[in-house]
Structure 1
Amino acid sequence: MKALLDFIPLIAFFIAARYNGILAAAGALLVATIIVYAIHFVRQKGKFDKQQWVVLLLTIVFCGGTLLLRDDIYLRWKSPIINGIFALTLLVSAAINKPLMQLAMKDVFLLTMSGWKKLTIAWALFFAMMAVLHYITAFTMSDEAWINFKTYGWIPLMLVFVVAQFLLLKKHLNPALTDKSVK
């Protein structure tokens, strides 16, 4: 349910951008994000995780800046910066021996510390690549290409990455998880 809710702001952005332009899309993205995060806030009993705070605050800042200054440059920087922050955070967590992917996926996979660090670095590199791709589409391509990539162009890349990751790690699935699904 959470993942489906998180697509609502993208859908609002895409529809508004198609029919009313980028400034309207910034407004739609901002309003939809605030509504979705209010729902998350209630469902999560008044709590956000750090990733949710980053996305919410940066959406408010970049969409708000775009609307207040009537300049889409701020909105164009949103995705490269968010992905860059995720990449940097994951790299730092691996460097200090506290790989964040272990916290996120410890119930799914059983890995050594080296494995968790490699997985965390792989995700960091993926987010770094996404930051670069978002930057390229936002600043070197047409508005239509940027809108299409921002809305749904990244999804196949994420799916390929997640499937490849699962195929590489399937032998490390937590037996307790697979036992529950068999019963």
Structure 2
Amino acid sequence: MKMLIDFLPIAIFVLVYQLTKDIVLATAVLIPATIAQVLFTWWRWRKVEKMHLVTLALVVLLGGATVILGDGEFIKWKPTVVNWLFAVAFLLSPLLGGKSLIERMMEKNMTLPSPVWTRLNLAWVVFFLAMGAVNIVVFTHFSEEVWVNFKLFGMMGLTILFILVQGVYLARHLPRDENTIQGTGSRKEEK
């Protein structure tokens, strides 16, 4: 359910755009949809992820500029700014807290050697930088309609593909011993 809520504002944005072909109107709907997403998340789980707050701030800022100025170019920058901010956060996280962001997010589910966490974190940095750059290429070289579809389907598809590749990489570093509980690194009790 949480993943559905994460993609609901962008799905609404794409739907409104597909029905009207008006990026300003779609953006005007995106802003309250994103606010509603954050409020619902707070109401349901009593916490809001930083990613949602950053996204909300950029939707309000860049989306507001799009609506007020009637210029869709502002909202097209949002995915790039979000991805590049995440790249910076992942890159700087080991310096600020000792552990990488990816390690903090996943260490409860698996134990990995420090170099693996470092490589995984850097892979996310590169992924976020690439996604931001690809967004610029798409909105500067293709039609607005192509960009809108890429924003939902292309970015989601590339993210899923990256996660699958990450899963293959992680599988190489997980314990293979049958007596090891996968992902925890602890041994089952011998009978």
User: Structure 2 length as normaliser, TM-score?
Assistant: 0.86
**Paired residues of 2:16 and 2:25 also in contact (CA < 8 A):** yes
* 1:48 to partner: Cα distance: 2.0
Q: Does 1:108 align with 2:117?
A: no
1:140 equivalent in structure 2? 141
Paired with 1:166 and 1:151, the residues of 2 have a C-alpha distance of 22
1:13-37 residue CA offsets vs partner (Å, 9 max, x unmatched): 1111112210111012112111111
Stretch moving more, 120-129 or 107-116: 107-116
Question: 1:1-183 to 2 correspondence within 5 Å?
Answer: 1-20=1-20, 21-45=22-46, 47-94=47-94, 97-170=98-171, 171-172=173-174, 173-175=182-184
Paired with 2:76 and 2:159, the residues of 1 have a C-alpha distance of 20
> SS of the residue aligned with 1:98?
coil
> SS of the residue aligned with 2:16?
helix
Which portions of structure 1, spanning 4 or more consecutive aligned residues, are displaced by more than 4 angstroms? Answer: none
Paired with 2:157 and 2:45, the residues of 1 have a C-alpha distance of 29
> SS of the residue aligned with 1:117?
helix
- CA-based RMSD of the aligned residues comes to 1.8
> SS of the residue aligned with 1:175?
coil
Identity %: 29
1:83-127 residue CA offsets vs partner (Å, 9 max, x unmatched): 010011111124554300011111222112221111111011111
User: 5+ unaligned residues in a row in structure 2: which ranges?
Assistant: 175-181
**Paired residues of 1:94 and 1:120 also in contact (CA < 8 A):** no
User: Structure 1 length as normaliser, TM-score?
Assistant: 0.89
Structure number with greater Rg is 2
- The letter of the residue matching 1:103 is R
- The letter of the residue matching 1:76 is K
* 1:176 to partner: Cα distance: 7.1
1:26-81 residue CA offsets vs partner (Å, 9 max, x unmatched): 01211211111110011222x32322211111111111111111111110111110
- The letter of the residue matching 2:7 is F
**Paired residues of 1:23 and 1:66 also in contact (CA < 8 A):** yes
Larger helix fraction of residues: 1
1:116-172 residue CA offsets vs partner (Å, 9 max, x unmatched): 111111011111110011111122211111111012111221111111111111242
> SS of the residue aligned with 2:29?
helix
* 1:175 to partner: Cα distance: 3.3
- The letter of the residue matching 2:51 is Q
Paired with 1:59 and 1:108, the residues of 2 have a C-alpha distance of 32
- The letter of the residue matching 1:163 is L
